[in-house]
Structure 1
């Protein structure tokens, strides 16, 4: 396609996964046509910027401290079509969002957050907008909060989710099994260079898994395993871990743009069960060690990991260091996990995201 298109991607920064998916879709659209003009916009910056920090902090507080309260609201949004919780936001800010859309007048809108899809769907109906809408589901879920009339296409994480959407009245032709979109670097094969086994730990999960100094000392004592810990933007954690400069087999990293490279070099990933990270690992063929979670959408992702046999789930009573050491030393288990991941990769079409999207223009 030589003619450039003006594409608006609505998202939000909750948990960063939705924004990560938005950036991944943008890359795929540029792959199809470098002339495409693509803008990623946080829906809260449009509806009411003053509430952005309040929403983010409330989300973080509930998911970390009060999971039961979060899950109460999540279950309503999951099980009830046109739920009243999002309805409050639509009633307050629909006119403002619709005005923004009409001002931008894009050729296509893509949503990576349920409320974005709802706003666009309702704006299309009320203001007779003829702009195609794609919804990209960012966890392994078929929740009603993602399903809205006036949606022209759905990018779904799995065949099963697609089938469940059909059961809820969505036309099969509107469903594309892409997996959860990931950036190009996670779709590229890089040969593992190092002969040592490598363990990759995302620092944000360390407290929840009980990875303390005792565990780190045991990991550092594994002469045949290199452990890489990525703390991201958590400077407090980075400084705390970096105080011990005597590690022989542990590397501590802060924020890095090379997660895909480290995934390629690793044999096992220890992380949270977020949808974007899950499919980054799948596309890299990387088995995961995951802690069971009580947070709504993470529970669904864990169920998927368990059913597909692509990771090791840790129960509260189990020793994290024993699980890690056993998984790294058991070649047959790792091979089975990689085989199961390979089967998933045969079901999804991440390279076709840009092509599918531009078919609607």
Structure 2
């Protein structure tokens, strides 16, 4: 270890892949916790896609995004096909050859950083490093954080120091794939430390112009099956509910993220619904908005699902991507913390159901709180850090 590393303490490297946002968000959550809890520990987050060729990056990021958006059924087929494929098949051998050829720059960077431990929040770097471990070319312990409520075969590799699972079912699947039970840790999926704070709806709501006592929904992300955000918002706000129902004048928060066109359309729509529609662009205060809500309408990504559960927030899941998101949706539906809307009509029906059945919504809220793991980032980092002491 260099003198510089000795002064800073341990060095932990987190590797993610920017194919979807969840893998990077999990990595950032671990890094954020480490920065506050162990400031003398150097924690570095790298996107593997910054160290591969342009063509390889397009396959792993651009092609993935296009496929899940334009041909989700095909993506679902590929998800299942690769999960069932034999490791010694010609296709798998070709895929691993491409990965080896593209891993050289990343491996040079790892050698330069000389980390004491590595955490992978995507299967690609785990697979690359597993081969080095098998050839005794890497003696640094490598840990793997699975970022969905399902386990795809491509996450499973020999030589890993340990695995972090979202729940007991994922841990069971890991054991069935031959991973040693004593290396599996059920921590949940890492989310930002802010989701572990105790927040007050009464204090957070006024900061956004919201009425704390009014029934509140959050609409997150657009998506196939429901339509554009402004269209969905207009349909929801047009709901005709009995005047005597205390939730008849509900509030709707719509998170448009970095979709500036959607945000502008929502802001125009909000002029017709003062104090009822609250369009919000990219924000780092999602947890403060979630604490103000009674239900969230969202796609069931692993990180978003984990954030909702941490906040005890029931979900209406829509348009899950075949494959990992379908499995996430299955999990929350089976656990009784979510309903599913296959289209905009189903969404309206589900909302009416929940407003008419406050006891049912309350039960879903309590179940979500029991399932939530807001301290997952802490659990992951502390386990890895303790292994180095």
Aligned residues: 359
Give the aligned partner of residue 34 of structure 2: 29
CA contact (8 A) 1:186 1:284 kept: yes
1:231 is paired with a residue whose SS is strand
2:235 is paired with a residue whose SS is helix
Q: Indicate yes or no: 2:226 matched with 1:209.
A: yes
TM-score by length of 2: 0.85
Where does the alignment leave 5 or more consecutive residues of structure 1 unmatched? none
Give the aligned partner of residue 262 of structure 1: 289
Give the aligned partner of residue 224 of structure 1: 249
Partner of residue 312 from structure 1, selected from 339, 344, 361: 339
1:319 is paired with a residue whose SS is helix
1:230 is paired with a residue whose SS is strand
Give runs of aligned pairs for residues 62-141 of structure 1, distance below 5 A.
62-80=67-85, 82=87, 83-84=92-93, 86-141=95-150
CA contact (8 A) 1:79 1:143 kept: no
Encode CA deviations 1:125-157: one digit per residue, 9 max, x unaligned: 235211011100011112110011111111110
Give the aligned partner of residue 213 of structure 2: 195
1:138 is paired with a residue whose SS is coil
Mean Cα deviation higher: 47-56 or 18-27: 47-56
Residues 107 and 262 of structure 1: CA distance in aligned 2, closer, same or farther (over 3 Å): same
TM-score by length of 1: 0.92
CA contact (8 A) 1:185 1:260 kept: yes
Deviation, 1:96, is 3.6
Deviation, 1:345, is 3.4
Deviation, 1:320, is 1.6
Deviation, 1:120, is 1.4
CA contact (8 A) 2:225 2:342 kept: no
1:149 is paired with a residue whose SS is coil
For residues 187 and 94 of structure 2, the distance between their equivalents in structure 1, rounded to whole angstroms, comes to 29
CA contact (8 A) 1:29 1:353 kept: no
CA contact (8 A) 1:218 1:321 kept: no
Q: Indicate yes or no: 2:43 matched with 1:38.
A: yes
1:15 is paired with a residue whose SS is coil
For residues 81 and 105 of structure 1, the distance between their equivalents in structure 2, rounded to whole angstroms, comes to 34
For residues 53 and 364 of structure 2, the distance between their equivalents in structure 1, rounded to whole angstroms, comes to 45
Partner of residue 238 from structure 1, selected from 263, 270, 281: 263
CA contact (8 A) 1:159 1:347 kept: no
Give the aligned partner of residue 300 of structure 1: 327
Residues 220 and 250 of structure 1: CA distance in aligned 2, closer, same or farther (over 3 Å): farther
Highest CA radius of gyration, 1 or 2? 2
Deviation, 1:65, is 1.2
For residues 146 and 14 of structure 2, the distance between their equivalents in structure 1, rounded to whole angstroms, comes to 13
Residues 159 and 347 of structure 1: CA distance in aligned 2, closer, same or farther (over 3 Å): farther
Give the aligned partner of residue 205 of structure 2: none
Encode CA deviations 1:206-231: one digit per residue, 9 max, x unaligned: x5324626404415986531110010
Q: Cα RMSD over matched residues? A: 2.4
Residues 239 and 3 of structure 1: CA distance in aligned 2, closer, same or farther (over 3 Å): closer
2:135 is paired with a residue whose SS is helix
Encode CA deviations 1:208-257: one digit per residue, 9 max, x unaligned: 32462640441598653111001000011111222222212111111111
Deviation, 1:25, is 1.1
Encode CA deviations 1:30-49: one digit per residue, 9 max, x unaligned: 34311111111111211225
CA contact (8 A) 2:12 2:116 kept: yes
**Moved segments of 4+, more than 6 Å:** none
Deviation, 1:350, is 5.0
